[in-house]
């Protein structure tokens, strides 16, 4: 068996456990279920789109602030115990949202608590474990694990509206609590205690004089921060707004949900295809092309033609699927693996900060202009800028760094 294929065979439990765990990560469940819940809460409780967008700000801002600290903690103490704690906290918070009184301050407070306690169950820990064990097939392994986000993106708009229609939004949140338990338990069993005992493997990293510098003193860090945050700030919010955009164009809730499911399919394909490509092609160039396709997809939405919304939905999902996959890969190639959790946590936190503002920014631009055309054109321009920044990224370092 070839050495690169042997990596997949040797660590299949880690891959499967990570995929299941990422399916129920706090970021996955919030992003890919919020459009369903936002529409229902707006109808049932009268909360405005801008008020509901605050939940996105509260949720992801908390993750953005804590991700670097969670990553550093997992670098030092392992990933399994923190993830188990966060999964239990998530299940409890979703149950609390379903059972406690429906007031906006309490709802926002529970979303913040969900983020604070569930931060270790984000992709930070899983990506660290995979990057420490894979080299030749690292891109594919990250893509397979991150495909858990795509599975949720496909199933949520198809299954959740039917649950909410049958048992209401409270029943929908209870179903999320049960989902966390049903997938989280086997995920932790598959990872097992040995996930924290396997030593970190060496990987390409900058020379000693460079990688000892603080992140904020490295120009490459700021280049990558800007390139990754721009798509999150100006693009990720369309996942939250997509169903509302389609409803504004006369589609029914079921039709809009079915179309939104295409985003989930594209997220899954984006993770797998990009993961496979970056094992063979220079990753910054791959993600630059993806960003240009994303920009084109957003411009298609300005036409208002329902059929053009299908390829637009695909490009949104494909780009969002590719971004986190490439982020983990580039962090593992440009920075020391032994500090992966802390470094990836900083990047992930920055992306979440951008994502926290994205839905609100789009909502405010929509409210001021009366349509989505202005934010769509602005977002497309920012994605072209992000593609240009990725093309400025240097070649990967060739000198191995000790773990």
pLDDT digits (tens, 9 = 90+) for 148-158: 877 887 788 77
Greatest mean pLDDT among 29-33, 285-289, 372-376 lies in 285-289
132 burial (CB, 10 Å; 0-12 / 13-18 / 19+) is buried
For residue 400, what pLDDT is reported?
39
DSSP H/E element including 173: helix 138-191
Q: Span 371-383, mean pLDDT? A: 92
For residue 198, what pLDDT is reported?
52
For residue 339, what pLDDT is reported?
85
Q: Which of the four pLDDT bands, split at 50, 70 and 90, describes residue 2?
A: low
Contact 290, 322 (CB under 8 A): yes
Whole-model pTM?
Answer: 0.80
Q: Which of the four pLDDT bands, split at 50, 70 and 90, describes residue 360?
A: confident
For residue 403, what pLDDT is reported?
36
- Let me know how long the chain is: 403
Identify the structural domains of the chain with CATH numbers, from first to last. Answer: 3-395 (1.20.1250.20)
pLDDT above 50: residue 145:
yes
pLDDT above 90: residue 121:
no
Which stretch of 15-29, 191-205, 281-295 has the lowest confidence by average pLDDT?
191-205
Q: Span 325-350, mean pLDDT? A: 89
Residue 359: closest CA among 45, 2, 59, 127: 59
Q: Span 108-127, mean pLDDT? A: 87
pLDDT, tens digit, 9 for 90 and up, residues 19-42 = 999 989 887 888 778 878 877 887
Contact 280, 231 (CB under 8 A): no
Only one residue has tokens 């971004």, namely 323
Q: Which of the four pLDDT bands, split at 50, 70 and 90, describes residue 203?
A: very low
Contact 383, 322 (CB under 8 A): no
- Tokens matching residue 360: 């609100």
pLDDT, tens digit, 9 for 90 and up, residues 170-179 = 999 999 999 9
Q: What distance lies between CA 270 and its chain's CA centroid?
A: 12
Q: CA 402 to CA 201: how far, in whole Å?
A: 8
* 3-state SS, residue 220: helix
Q: Span 87-105, mean pLDDT? A: 91
Which residues make beta-bridge pairs with 203?
A: 401
- Tokens matching residue 193: 């205690």
Cα-Cα-Cα-Cα dihedral sign, residues 285, 216, 123, 97: negative
For residue 197, what pLDDT is reported?
66
pLDDT, tens digit, 9 for 90 and up, residues 236-270 = 888 778 877 777 776 776 777 777 778 878 888 88
Give Dmax over CA atoms of the chain in angstroms: 61
Q: Span 48-64, mean pLDDT? A: 77
Percentage of residues in the chain having pLDDT higher than 70: 92
Q: Span 204-228, mean pLDDT? A: 72
Q: CA 166 to CA 391: how far, in whole Å?
A: 49
| Residue 386, CA distances (Å) to 150, 350, 353, 359 in order | 23, 15, 17, 19
Which stretch of 61-65, 256-260, 335-339 has the lowest confidence by average pLDDT?
256-260
Q: Pairing state of beta strands 400-401 and 203-204?
A: antiparallel
For residue 4, what pLDDT is reported?
62
pLDDT above 60: residue 312:
yes
Query: Alpha helices, DSSP H only, in 78-103?
Result: 80-99
For residue 213, what pLDDT is reported?
60
DSSP, residue by residue, 352-401: HHHHHHHHHHHHHHHHHHSSSHHHHHHHHHHHHHHHHHHHTPPPPP-SEE
To the nearest whole number, what is the mean pLDDT of the chain?
Answer: 84
- Tokens matching residue 122: 């984000």
Residue 84: closest CA among 173, 191, 194: 191
* 3-state SS, residue 217: helix
Contact 220, 334 (CB under 8 A): yes
For residue 321, what pLDDT is reported?
83
Q: Work out the end-to-end distance of the chain between its first and last CA atoms, rounded to an integer number of angstroms.
A: 27
For residue 297, what pLDDT is reported?
92
Q: CA 95 to CA 15: how far, in whole Å?
A: 29
């Amino acid at each position: 068996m070839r050495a690169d294929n042997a990596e997949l065979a040797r660590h299949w439990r880690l891959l499967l456990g990570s995929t299941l765990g990422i399916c129920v990560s706090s970021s996955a469940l919030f992003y890919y279920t919020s459009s369903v819940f936002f529409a229902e809460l707006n109808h049932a409780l009268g909360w405005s789109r801008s008020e509901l967008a605050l939940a996105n700000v509260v949720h992801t801002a908390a993750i953005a602030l804590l991700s670097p600290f969670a990553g550093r903690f997992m670098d030092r103490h392992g990933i399994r115990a923190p993830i188990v704690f966060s999964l239990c906290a998530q299940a409890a918070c979703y149950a609390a949202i379903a059972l406690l009184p429906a007031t906006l301050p309490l709802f926002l407070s529970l979303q913040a608590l969900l983020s604070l306690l569930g931060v270790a169950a984000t992709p930070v820990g899983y990506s660290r474990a995979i990057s420490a064990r894979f080299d030749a097939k690292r891109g594919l392994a990250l893509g397979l694990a991150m495909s858990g986000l795509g599975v949720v993106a496909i199933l949520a708009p198809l299954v959740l509206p039917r649950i909410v229609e049958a048992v209401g939004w409270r029943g929908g949140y209870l179903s999320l609590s049960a989902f966390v338990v049903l997938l989280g338990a086997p995920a932790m069993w598959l990872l097992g205690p040995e996930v924290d005992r396997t030593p970190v493997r060496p990987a390409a990293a900058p020379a000693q004089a460079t990688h000892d510098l603080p992140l904020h003193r490295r120009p490459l860090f700021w280049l990558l921060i800007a390139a990754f945050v721009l798509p999150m700030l100006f693009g990720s919010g369309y996942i939250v707004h997509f169903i509302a955009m389609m409803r504004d164009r006369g589609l029914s809730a079921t039709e809009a949900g079915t179309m939104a499911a295409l985003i989930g399919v594209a997220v899954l394909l984006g993770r797998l295809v990009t993961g496979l490509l970056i094992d063979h092609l220079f990753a910054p160039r791959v993600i630059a092309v993806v960003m240009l396709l994303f920009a084109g997809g957003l411009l298609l939405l300005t036409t208002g033609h329902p059929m053009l919304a299908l390829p637009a939905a695909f490009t949104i999902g494909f780009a969002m699927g590719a971004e986190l996959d490439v982020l983990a890969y580039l962090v593992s190639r440009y920075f020391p693996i032994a500090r992966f959790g802390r470094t990836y946590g900083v990047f992930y936190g920055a992306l979440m900060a951008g994502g926290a503002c994205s839905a609100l920014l789009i909502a405010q631009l929509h409210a001021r202009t009366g349509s989505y055309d202005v934010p769509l054109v602005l977002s497309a321009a920012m994605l072209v800028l992000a593609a240009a920044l990725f093309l400025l990224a240097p070649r990967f370092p060739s000198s191995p760094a000790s773990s």
